[in-house]
């Protein structure tokens, strides 16, 4: 896969997306066959990368259990991304309504990488970290800050504090 050749070590895709493996190999091929999430994860692993699977706010966390419980190790994602905004652009308001998904995932999978993306910053990180998120995407909070490194430190410390208290 081109991303791996370019140096990516993790590829995260949307559960909802219609991605064809042929199109992934050949961007000129617009065949409209859907590849199942498990096939996609397997394909990413075969390409030498870790695999992440993202869900939008409209998607129930329940769609993930069967994937996370796959008997085939190569079909199990290394990371789940719970979107905390509607995907599309930065600067949106954090949706705390998505945190029960994070909590449910963390309760079942203590070691899973759980990412959150959207509206994360100093004012929202503690809620996300307390729910169990340990991978944080932050756009405007970091790039709009006078002290981006300071904001990243706050995000890291919140996640680390939660991790320590769960040990």
Ligand X SMILES: O=C(CO)[C@@H](O)[C@H](O)COP(=O)(O)O
In sequence order, the β-bridge partners of residue 83 are: 117
Largest interatomic CA distance in the chain: 49
Interaction of residue 52 with ligand X, rule CB under 6 A: no
Binding residues for ligand X, total number by CB under 6 A: 16
The residue among 44 and 85 lying less far from ligand X, judged by its C-beta, is 85
Contact 85, 118 (CB under 8 A): yes
What three-state secondary structure class fits 84?
Answer: coil
Among residues 107, 52, 110, 112, the alpha carbon closest in space to that of 83 is found at: 52
Instruction: Report, in Å, the least distance between residue 144 CB and ligand X.
Output: 8
The residue among 65 and 143 lying less far from ligand X, judged by its C-beta, is 143
Interaction of residue 92 with ligand X, rule CB under 6 A: yes
What three-state secondary structure class fits 66?
Answer: helix
Q: Which residue has the tokens 């329940």?
A: 62
Interaction of residue 122 with ligand X, rule CB under 6 A: no
Interaction of residue 75 with ligand X, rule CB under 6 A: no
Instruction: Report, in Å, the least distance between residue 143 CB and ligand X.
Output: 8
The residue whose Cβ lies closest to ligand X is 139
- Angstrom distance (rounded) from CA 33 to CA 101: 29
Interaction of residue 137 with ligand X, rule CB under 6 A: yes
Which residues sit at the interface with ligand X, rule CB under 6 A?
85, 87-92, 117-120, 137-141
């Amino acid at each position: 896969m081109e991303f791996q050749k370019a140096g990516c070590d993790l590829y995260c895709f949307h559960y909802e997306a219609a991605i064809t493996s042929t199109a992934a190999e050949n961007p000129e091929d617009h065949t409209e066959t859907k590849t199942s999430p498990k096939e996609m994860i397997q394909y990413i692993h075969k390409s030498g990368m870790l695999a992440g699977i993202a869900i939008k706010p409209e998607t129930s966390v329940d769609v993930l259990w069967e994937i996370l419980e796959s008997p085939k190790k190569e079909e199990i994602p290394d990371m789940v991304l719970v979107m905390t905004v509607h995907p599309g652009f930065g600067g949106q308001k954090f949706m705390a309504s998505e945190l029960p998904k994070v909590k449910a995932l963390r309760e079942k999978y203590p070691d899973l990488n759980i990412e959150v993306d959207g509206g994360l910053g100093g004012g929202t990180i503690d809620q996300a970290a307390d729910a169990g998120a340990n991978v944080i995407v932050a756009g405007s909070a970091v790039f709009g800050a006078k002290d981006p490194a300071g904001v990243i430190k706050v995000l890291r410390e919140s996640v680390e504090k939660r991790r320590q208290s769960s040990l």
